[in-house]
C-alpha cells in the first residue's frame, strides 16, 4: 500500500476539488507535507481524517464540529456527539413529515378538483369553522395579491407553501363590495389545518353561497354578480365578508384556462 498520495490522487479518490483540500488544510483538518518542489503530499494520517470529514459532512456537521471531533476523539465524546446529532436529525424529520402529510392532502384535493361536480353551479353549503393566517391591506392588482401571498408565506417559511399548502384566498373589500365592485380586495389569507398552533383568525361556521368557475380571473366580476343575485332571489341576506378562494392558480398550472376559483359568501335566512 502506498504511503504518500498526490493532490490529484486524493481528489480522484474522494471526488473533491483541490480548493476543498486546501480549505480543509487551512482550517487545520488536514496536514499534508511538502515535497522539495513545493507539491503537497498526503499520508495515511490524512486518509483517516478525510474519511471522518466525508462522513461527518454527510451529517451536515460544520467545520468547527468536525475539527472538535477529530481533536477530541474518545468513546465518551463520540457517544455524546452522536446522541446530539440524532436529536438534531429528529428535529428536522418532524417538519418534513408534516410537509409530506400536507402535500398528500393537497394532491388528493387537486385530483378531486379534476372531476368537481358542482362547477358553474351556485349551491348553499354548511361549512365548519376554519382557521386562517392573513396579511392585512388593500390589494388593487393581481401583482399586489401575489406579493401579499409571498409576504404571508415569509412569516412562516417552514410550514407555509404556495404550492403545497392548503388553499389561499382574499376577502373582497367591504366598501367596494357595497358599490358592486367585486374585484377590489382587502386581506390575503391562507387556510391552515385545524391542529395548527399558529393562526390569526377563525372564519365562523355557517352557511355559504358557493360558486366555482374555471378559467381566467376576468370572469370574477360577472360571477360575483350572479351569486349576489341568487342570494337575494333565494331570500337570504349576506352575513359577512365575501371571499375569493384560489383552488387552482398560477402556482399549480401555467394554463389560465385550468384555473379554478371559488366564491364563498356567508349568508343567513331573512
Q: Do domains 4-73 and 116-269 have the same CATH topology?
A: no
Note the pLDDT of residue 145: 55
- Ranges of each domain in the chain: 4-73, 116-269
What is the three-state SS of the chain?
CCCEEEHHHHHHHHCCCHHHHHHHHHCCCCCCEECCCCCEEEEHHHHHHHHHHHHHHHCCCCHHHHHHHHHCCCHHHHHHHHHHHHHHHHHHHHHHHHHHHHHHHHHHHHHHHHCCCCECCCEEEEECCEEEEEEEEEECCHHHHHHHHHHHHHCCCCCCCCCCCCCEEEEECHHHHHCCCCCCEEEEEEEECCCCCCCCEEECCEEEEEEEEECCHHHHHHHHHHHHHHHHHCCEEECCCCEEEEEECCCCCCCHHHCEEEEEEEEEEC
Note the pLDDT of residue 204: 93
Range 4-73: architecture per CATH: Orthogonal Bundle (1.10)
For the stretch 159-196, pLDDT in tens is 555 444 567 888 999 999 999 999 888 888 888 777 76
Q: What percent of the chain has pLDDT over 90?
A: 37
At the topology level, CATH places domain 116-269 in Multidrug-efflux Transporter 1 Regulator Bmrr; Chain A (3.20.80)
What are the average pLDDT values for consecutive 10-residue runs of the chain, which has 270 residues?
84 91 93 88 90 87 89 85 84 78 72 71 93 69 54 54 64 93 86 74 93 92 96 93 89 84 93
Amino acid at each position: 500500500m502506498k504511503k504518500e498520495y498526490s493532490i490529484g490522487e486524493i481528489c480522484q479518490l474522494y471526488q473533491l476539488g483541490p480548493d476543498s483540500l486546501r480549505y480543509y488544510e487551512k482550517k487545520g483538518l488536514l496536514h499534508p507535507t511538502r515535497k522539495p518542489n513545493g507539491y503537497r503530499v498526503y499520508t495515511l494520517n490524512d486518509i483517516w481524517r478525510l474519511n471522518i470529514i466525508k462522513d461527518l459532512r454527510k451529517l451536515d456537521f460544520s467545520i468547527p464540529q468536525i475539527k472538535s471531533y477529530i481533536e477530541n476523539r474518545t468513546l465518551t465524546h463520540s457517544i455524546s456527539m452522536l446522541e446530539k446529532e440524532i436529536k438534531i436529525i429528529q428535529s428536522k424529520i418532524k417538519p418534513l413529515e408534516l410537509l409530506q402529510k400536507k402535500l398528500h392532502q393537497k394532491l388528493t384535493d387537486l385530483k378531486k378538483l379534476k372531476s368537481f361536480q358542482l362547477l358553474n353551479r351556485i349551491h348553499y353549503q354548511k361549512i365548519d369553522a376554519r382557521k386562517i393566517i392573513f396579511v392585512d391591506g388593500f390589494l388593487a392588482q393581481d401583482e399586489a395579491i401575489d406579493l401579499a401571498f409571498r409576504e404571508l408565506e415569509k412569516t412562516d417559511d417552514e410550514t407555509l407553501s404556495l404550492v403545497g399548502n392548503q388553499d389561499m384566498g382574499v376577502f373582497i373589500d367591504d366598501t367596494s363590495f357595497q358599490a358592486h365592485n367585486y374585484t377590489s380586495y382587502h386581506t390575503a389569507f391562507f387556510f391552515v389545518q385545524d391542529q395548527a398552533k399558529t393562526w390569526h383568525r377563525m372564519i365562523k361556521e355557517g352557511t355559504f353561497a358557493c360558486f366555482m368557475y374555471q378559467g381566467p380571473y376576468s370572469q370574477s366580476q360577472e360571477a360575483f354578480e350572479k351569486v349576489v343575485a341568487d342570494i337575494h332571489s333565494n331570500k337570504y341576506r349576506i352575513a359577512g365578508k365575501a371571499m375569493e378562494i384560489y383552488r387552482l392558480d398560477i402556482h399549480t398550472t401555467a394554463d389560465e384556462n385550468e384555473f379554478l376559483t371559488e366564491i364563498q359568501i356567508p349568508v343567513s335566512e331573512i
